[in-house]
Structure 1
Amino acid sequence: MSEERKHIEVVAAIIKKDNTILATQRGYGDLKDGWEFPGGKVEPGEAHEVALKREIHEELEAEITVLEHIITIEYTGYEKFDLTMHCYLCSLVNDSDITLLEHEAAKWLSKENLYSVDWLPADIDAVDAISKRL
């Protein structure tokens, strides 16, 4: 009898600044060094917008405005877990700076170089969705 796979629900911030999108490089865990949209786990009973603002503050010491839902991705290709990722277009409040607290690196990517980093597999559909909007 197989063990039930772990399922994780997360929110991701597609942070837009001018005509660029923020990509962050994971600094920990099994997916270390992969590029992703910042965000994290939704706590039980927590609204997506609240979770997003909390996670971005914890990870980047930044305040965001959540603008609109872009895509929800169901991804089952990771070895240890399945993922539901709710991706939202966001902007920085007052064009604030970011401070990397959990990531190794960050890049602001234009439409032309959106695919220049090694995105984590679950993030690719979000990259495709946002590339049409830049």
Structure 2
Amino acid sequence: MKHIEVAAAVLLEDNAVFAAQRGHSGPLAGRWEFPGGKLEEGEDGTVAIVREIEEELKTQIEVVRHLITVEHQYPTFFLTMHAYLCRRIYGDLELSEHIASCWIGKDDLLTLDWAEADIPVAREVEKLLR
């Protein structure tokens, strides 16, 4: 079984968190996620997430701290996802790979159709939002 290791960014601003909707292809098409991507060989999660957000969203971020690591068995692969609480330094979170995005508050957070591995992260985020 294929194992994929990824990093995800949890960006909080004004009591809301940034969520992105995946494109129309692949097993998780149309589902919502915390943006990020695969770790490259020799890369740790903090380096990967800064690089991925720069590549995918044309935005520079810094990692504040590790939030949670989630392991999830999808039908075709096993995922290890390291989620990091991050702060935006500059950039407007321009979508290049996602079809939609939103800033979502605590009350609506769990109404999104999250990818399964992102649900435990959303529950952690819920605790951080007032």
Runs (4+) of structure 1 exceeding 2 A deviation are none
Partner of 2:41: 44
Pick from 43, 68, 72 the counterpart of residue 71 of structure 1. Answer: 68
TM-score by length of 1: 0.92
TM-score by length of 2: 0.95
Residue correspondence of structure 1 range 45-124 to structure 2 within 5 A: 45-76=42-73, 78-94=74-90, 96-124=91-119
Question: What is the alpha-carbon distance in structure 1 between the residues aligned to residue 55 and residue 29 of structure 2?
Answer: 18
Letter in 1 for 2:104: L
Aligned residues: 128
Structure 2 residue runs without a partner (length 5+):
none
Letter in 2 for 1:99: E
Cα drift, residue 30 of structure 1? 1.9
User: How high is the sequence identity, in percent, across the aligned residues?
Assistant: 49
Question: What is the alpha-carbon distance in structure 2 between the residues aligned to residue 120 and residue 81 of structure 1?
Answer: 14
Q: Bigger radius of gyration, 1 or 2?
A: 1
Pick from 115, 126, 130 the counterpart of residue 121 of structure 2. Answer: 126
Cα RMSD for the two superposed structures: 0.9
Residue correspondence of structure 1 range 1-40 to structure 2 within 5 A: 5-27=1-23, 28-40=25-37
